[in-house]
Amino acid sequence: MKLISWNVNGLRACMGKGFLEFAAKEQPDILCLQETKMQQGQAEVPLEGYQQYWCSAEKKGYSGTAVFTKTQPLSVQYNLGIPDHDHEGRVITAEYADFYLVTVYTPNSQEGLKRLDYRMQWEDAFRAYVKTLDTKKPVIICGDMNVAHQEIDLKNPKTNHESAGFSDAERAKMTELLAAGFVDTWRHFHPDTEGVYSWWSYRFRAREKNAGWRIDYFLVSERLLDRVTKTDILTDVFGSDHCPVVIEIA
């Protein structure tokens, strides 16, 4: 089973930059999107053979997640079920026979870390949520988690220390999440690989220089790790300031 996650930074814009052709070529069993920036129905997304599930922000043109799946889930839940966190369309949980799939678009702490306090509350709530799921069956978590966990996960760690996405507080929350029983699949299989990123600023020709960050993830419950047969980061796929990330499970 092939799963792909991609922050498309506006799905309508991405569809004009090869999104549909990419999906048709890759044919993932499940395709998870973040930062869709649209409500379902604002544009036709003609992916044949897929059921579509959307979780959009109340604010138009902001945030939002979507799941396209060839296999009908047993159940689908939107958001976390916590009013303080359920206005921005950041989480979809699809239940399958032997795992839960959670796609997430983690809040950005923003310039000057002005939203860091909220981000910390979100992190604790999200971790509690997926830990509860994990007591029932294994969990696959994917999406833009807005943090480069280790120095190896971004090009310029020293100059970006305490920037949004690389603050000590955000990195510590990722450490806590992994310690709760989850594995960063790409880093597990590529422990020493440098220079592979999933996001590049649109400024300063960052992608051309590969001055990027690895902030898009597939995490799995530890007991699911032996079913992971492949992980990939598709750095040659354009259409967004992020590139897709991939996992295959047996």
> What distance in Å separates the CA atoms of residue 110 and residue 108, rounded to the nearest whole number?
5
Residues annotated as catalytic (active site), given as ranges = 105, 144
Q: Which amino acid is at 80?
A: L
The torsion region of residue 9 among left (phi > 0), alpha (psi -120 to 50) and beta comes to left
Q: Which residues contact 87 (CB under 8 A, 6 or more apart)?
A: 57, 58, 59
User: How many other CB atoms are found less than 10 A from the CB of residue 76?
Assistant: 16
Contact predicate 104/141, CB 8 Å: yes
Q: Which residues contact 243 (CB under 8 A, 6 or more apart)?
A: 6, 198, 199, 216, 233, 234, 235, 236, 237
CA 183 to chain centre: 14
Q: Which amino acid is at 101?
A: L
Q: Which amino acid is at 239?
A: G
